[in-house]
Chain A
Amino acid sequence: MTATAVEASGIRIQQLRKSYGSLEVLSGLDLSLEPGRIYGLVGPNGAGKTTLMSTICNHTFPSGGTILVDGENPAENAGVLERMCFIHEDQPYNEAFSVGSILHVLPTFYPGWDEALAQRLVARFQLPLERRPGKLSRGQKSAFAIVISLASRAPYTFLDEPYLGLDPTAREIFYEELLADYGAHPRTIIMSTHLIDEAADLMEQVIVLHEGEIVLQADVDEARSSAYVARGLTDEVRAFAAGRNVIAEKSLGRILSATIRGQVTAVDEDKAAASRISIEPVSLQDLIAALGIHTLTSALTTENR
C-alpha cells in the first residue's frame, strides 16, 4: 500500500460538530481510526457515542466539520455506505417482518454475508426466527444485532452497546465469535460499551468521549499503564499523593484508594512500601470512571489527543 493510500484509508474526522437545537452533542471533535482494528468507544450516558457513530454512517447529519472514510465523504455515497453496518441499540424494524425474513434479505445488502456464521450464531443465541423483532427480549434484540453485524462482514462494523441485556453465557458467545471472526476476517470494528473491563480484552484501542469531546484515545495497554492506584490508610495515602496528579479517590472507612495519573518509579514503590501503601494497577473501568468524574486538566486532555 502506498503512503497516500495508507493516508486515505480508515476514518478521518476533523472538527466534527453535532447539535440538536441548542444542545451541542459533539463539539469540534477530531478523530483518526486506522483500518483493521477493534475500537472501544466509551463514556458516560449522553457523551455522544451513538451520535458519533450515527454521524460517521450518515444516519444523521453533522452540524459542521468533515468526515472521510477511506478518503471519501460518506454522505449519500453508496460506495462507502455499503461497506458499513450499524445496528442501533434501539434499532427500529418493520414489525411486518420476522427475524428470519430480515436475515433472509441481508445477503443482498452485504456481498460478504456469511450465511454459515449467521446460522451458527442464531443457533448459539437460540434466536426464534419466526418471531417479530419487537417481540424479542432485550437480550435477544442485542443477539440479533450481533448476528447481523458479524455475519455482514462489513469492512466497517459499528456495535452499539452490544452487551445490553445479554446474560453471561451469551456475552461469552459474543466474545468468542467476535474474536474468532475478527481473527479470520480482520476489519474495523467500533464498539460502544459500558462494560469496559469485560470488553477491554476485545479492544485494541479505547476512545473515551466526555461531553462531546475525546478525552482519551490510547491503546488499551497503554491506557492501563497511564495511571495506578495507591491504597492504604487515609493519612498515609494523602501524604504519598501530595503533589501528584490524583484523578479519583475512594474511601472505605479509614482506607483510601487514590487513582494517580502517571508512572510508578522504583523510588515511589519504596516510599509506598515504607508507608504500608499498596500500589495496584488501575482497571480500565476505574480509569475511565475517574476521567468521567474528574475535571480534566488541560494537560491531560492535550497529552492524550
Chain B
Amino acid sequence: MRKKGFVFGLVLVLLFALSACNSKESSGGEKEKSGTDSKKSEKKVEIFSWWTGAGEEDGLKALIALFQDKHPDIQIENAAVAGGAGTNAKAVLASRMQGNDPPSTFQVHGGAELNEGWVAAGKMEPLNDLYEKEGWNDKFPKSLIEMVSKDGNIYSVPVNIHRGNVLWYNKHVFDENGLKAPTTFEEFFAVADKLKAKGITPLALGDKEPWTAVQIYENILLAELGTEAYGKLWTGDQSFKDEKVVKATETFKKMLSYINDDHASRNWQDASQLVAKGEAAMNIMGDWAKGYFVNDLKLAVNKDFGYITTPGTAGKFMVITDTFGLPKGIKNVEETKQFLSVLGSVEGQDAFNPLKGSIPARVDADVSKYDQYGKDTIEDFKTAELSPSLAHGSAAPEGFLTKANQAVNIFVSQKDVKQLTDSLAQAAEELK
C-alpha cells in the first residue's frame, strides 16, 4: 500500500513538473510558430508586435480586419509576443534579425530605437517611394517624419502617438481639499505639502521596472531645459553636468520625497490604482494610463480623474510613437508595402487608435472618433513642440537607456545628485 502511494505521488509530481515546464515555455513567448503555418500561401504578411494587452490587441485586430477587407488574397500572420513595454518581443526580434529571419514588418518606437538601432545596423529599407506615392509627406507632422528618418531617408510608418508628459490626478481628492492642478513645480510642491499634511501620498510611483522613474526624470529635464536643450542631450551637444541638469535632478530628488514607500514593489498599473483609490493624489505617466483608468478601473475622464501636462511642460509634447518599417531581405515586399499603406491611411489610423487609446499620427484623422482626452491631445499635437522620450527608447540608443535605467534606479535609493549626473555624463560619451 505504501509503495503504491509513493508511486502515485511520484506520478503526480512528474505531471506537475511537466505542466510547469509547459507553462514556462508558453510564457517564454515564441508565439509566432502557432500561426497559420499549414497553408503555405505565397502572399503572406507577418506582423511582429508586442500588442497583446487589452485595448491594443483589439486595435491590432481591427487593423488586420480592415486590411483583410481590402486585400482578401493576402494572409496576415499576427506574431505578437507578450511582455510589458516589449522587452520580450525586442529580445525575440533581435535574435530573428541576426539570424536573417526578419518578420515582414515589426513594431519599433520612432527615434533612436529605429534610427540608431536597426537603420544603423543596415537592416532596413528606405520608404521614401511609399511616402511619395501615398502623399504622406505633408500628412504627418514634419518633426515626426524626422524622428523616423536618418540621413534624408524615411524608414518607417508611424501608426499612433502617445504622450509621455501627463500628470494624472484624483479629482475627488483635489476637490475635497480645494486644490488646483499644478502647472509649475512651485505649485506642485505646494499642493504636495498640503496633501502630505492630510496623510495622503502626493505622488504615486511604481518603479519595479525602472523606466517609470526615468520617465518622471525626463519630464523634469524637458521642463527645466526646454525642447531644444533637451534634444541636444541625446546628441552629446548638451552636457549632463550643466547646472540646469543639476537643477532638474534636484527637483527630481525633491519629488521623490513625496512618493509612496512601497514604490519598488509596484508596477505602473499598481501605482495608478493608488491614485484611483484616492490613497495617492497624482501620478506622472504616459497617456496609456488613461486607457487603464477608463477600461480597467471603470473611472470617468474629468469626473473621477483629471489630467494636465507635467509641471513646466505646457506646450511641449513628449512623443512615444509606434511605427512599422520594412526590413531588408524579406520575401513579400509588395504585400508588406500594401499593409504599410493601410497602416498609414486615415482609415487605418482611425480603426486602430480609438481602441488602443492613443491618438493618430496623421494630422487629418477624424477627430469625432476620439474621446475628450483624445480630442484635446490631437489639438495639442498640432501645435506643441515635439520631444523624443528617453524612457521609451526614442531619444537615445538602447545601450544608453540601459545605463540610464541603472543610474536612475540607484538614484531613487541613494539620492546622490552628483553621482547621477556623473554617470549619465559618462554614458553620454558614447552618444557622440
Determine if chain A interacts with chain B.
no
Interface set of B (CB-CB < 8 Å, partner A): none
Interface set of A (CB-CB < 8 Å, partner B): none
